[in-house]
């Protein structure tokens, strides 16, 4: 039976993917005026599937009648995001929309910072558990 990757491995893989995506997005921005250039992006990696078995899903429970009920009772499945077709093409054939690329760059930066914070918090948790943290 194959061993599941640890949380640190999953975080490292996600950070690698984000770094590669940032490179692809920066190439899109750099070629915004290149005739015939079409924007590229990376497909999302299987990160959710990798950690699905490692993290327990916490379901809220009403312990008091005064507590609020959960707002959504969905099955917890995210909807699949299908990339849309190009909606803007320059007369030169260039299909890079700078605003769209900059939004993707910003989201990638936010995701990378989130992974960095998660990594450092888990390291601090282990240090505290070993009696070396404060």
Is residue 50 scored above 50 in pLDDT? yes
Within-domain flag for 48? no
How many independent structural domains does the chain possess? Answer: 1
Residue-wise pLDDT tens digits, 117-133: 999 998 898 888 888 76
Within-domain flag for 125? yes
Threshold 0.95, pTM exceeds: no
Q: Which residues of 115-130 are buried (b: 16+ CB within 10 A; e: fewer)?
A: beebbeeeeeeeeeee
Residue 38: its pLDDT value, please?
85
116 is in which domain, residue-wise?
96-134
Within-domain flag for 32? no
Within-domain flag for 133? yes
Within-domain flag for 33? no
């Amino acid at each position: 039976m194959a061993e599941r990757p640890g949380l640190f491995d999953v975080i490292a893989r996600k950070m690698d993917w984000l770094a590669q995506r940032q490179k692809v997005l920066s190439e899109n921005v750099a070629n915004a005026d290149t005739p015939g250039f079409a924007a590229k992006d990376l497909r999302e990696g299987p990160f959710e599937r990798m950690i699905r078995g490692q993290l327990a899903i916490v379901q809220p429970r009403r312990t008091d009648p005064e507590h609020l009920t959960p707002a959504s009772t969905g099955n917890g499945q995210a909807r699949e995001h299908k990339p849309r077709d190009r909606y803007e093409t320059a007369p030169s054939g260039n299909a890079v929309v700078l605003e769209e690329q900059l939004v993707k760059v910003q989201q990638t930066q936010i995701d990378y910072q989130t992974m960095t914070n998660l990594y450092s918090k888990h390291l601090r948790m282990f240090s505290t558990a070993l009696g070396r943290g404060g």
